């Protein structure tokens, strides 16, 4: 299997290199995945093909297989090492019975999939790492069948608000806050409409994780392979000032780290125009 993370940007390579440590620190992804799955309880859907987009080590595709055992499962990630871990976690019995997911090393912006081939696309904490999610959303809309559903969770702009506040007030001085800037819920809703989705539903919540020290927060993000992508670059002396100020925000013996989680889902409607731009008009018989 080729690995698209090789010779790619450093952030993607860091994520690929974290395949062996990812599960130990992925408690937030497991929690958001559980909450996404609860939302599926209220959706009537019988997809023939399902895909976990940005599957990492495979928790999402395993949940989808449990819910939709008759569907053909596809696990997609740009990091081949993550796919190797997901494949190794597939029980031998499922492999023998031909019920293992198909694993695809691919870029969400250019999927090697036919148009309209998927009934459900699930994406848990992946889309926010894209500088511009709109091209990916257009590609996901292309691969969904009419009536198909996109469901996702992603980080919002108030993620690590405690550190952002410290950076603005204490640590960064004349330098810009280095933490990654994430799109807000309203921007993502607009992107869904621009990508051709219908009836987008968006909501958000804050999940607060507590740590014994700033070092523990940094360790978790390194094990997930996203530390550099999340924290950006700042001279080490400035980071020391930031982390010392952050450490003073402890409540009791714990430090809060807030993660804004944006949940969304949207449907693929019937086409209103054909490829050359002509409108499609349906005439109902009298």
The answer to whether residue 272 sits within a structural domain is no
The answer to whether residue 86 sits within a structural domain is yes
Count of structural domains within the chain: 1
The answer to whether residue 175 sits within a structural domain is no
pLDDT at 168: 80
CATH code, 82: 3.40.50.150
pLDDT at 173: 57
pLDDT at 239: 83
The answer to whether residue 274 sits within a structural domain is no
Whole-Å CA distances, 81 to 17, 48, 66, 86: 7, 27, 24, 9
Question: Can you give the pTM of this predicted structure?
Answer: 0.90
pLDDT at 282: 45
Mean pLDDT split into 10-residue runs, the chain, 286 residues: 74 94 98 97 95 97 96 97 94 75 96 98 98 97 98 98 86 71 97 97 97 95 96 83 87 92 97 60 49
**55 lies in which domain range?**
10-154+183-204+261-267
pLDDT at 175: 61
Residues 173-180: contacts with CB within 8 Å, 24+ apart? 173/238, 175/234, 175/238, 178/231, 178/232, 178/233, 178/234, 179/230, 179/231, 179/232, 180/229, 180/230, 180/231, 180/232
pLDDT at 172: 64
The answer to whether residue 216 sits within a structural domain is no
Query: In the block, which residue shows the tokens 């148009």?
Result: 115
The answer to whether residue 215 sits within a structural domain is no
């Amino acid at each position: 299997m080729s690995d698209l993370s090789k010779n790619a940007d450093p952030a993607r390579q860091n994520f690929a290199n974290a395949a062996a440590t990812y599960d130990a620190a992925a408690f937030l992804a497991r929690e958001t995945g559980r909450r996404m799955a609860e939302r599926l309880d209220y959706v009537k859907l019988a997809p023939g093909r399902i895909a976990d987009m940005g599957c990492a080590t495979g928790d999402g595709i395993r949940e989808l297989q449990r819910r939709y055992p008759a569907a053909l499962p596809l696990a997609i990630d740009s990091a081949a090492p993550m796919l190797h871990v997901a494949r190794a976690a597939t029980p031998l019995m499922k492999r023998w019975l031909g019920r293992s997911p198909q694993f695809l090393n691919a870029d969400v912006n250019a999927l090697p999939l036919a148009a309209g081939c998927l009934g459900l696309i699930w994406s848990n904490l992946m889309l926010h790492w894209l500088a511009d999610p709109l091209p990916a959303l257009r590609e996901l809309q292309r691969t969904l069948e009419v009536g198909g559903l996109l469901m996702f969770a992603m980080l919002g702009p108030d993620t690590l608000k405690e550190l952002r506040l410290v950076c603005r007030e204490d640590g960064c001085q004349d330098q810009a806050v280095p933490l990654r800037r994430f799109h807000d819920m309203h921007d993502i809703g607009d992107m869904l409409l621009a990508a051709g989705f219908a009836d987008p539903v968006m909501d958000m919540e804050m999940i607060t994780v507590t740590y014994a020290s700033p070092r523990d927060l940094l360790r978790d993000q390194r094990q997930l392979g996203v530390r550099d992508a999340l924290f950006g670059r700042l001279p080490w002396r400035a980071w020391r000032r930031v982390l010392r100020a952050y450490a003073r925000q402890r409540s009791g013996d714990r430090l809060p780290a807030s993660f804004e989680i944006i949940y969304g889902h949207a449907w693929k409607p019937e086409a209103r125009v054909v490829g050359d731009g002509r409108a499609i008009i349906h005439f109902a018989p009298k």
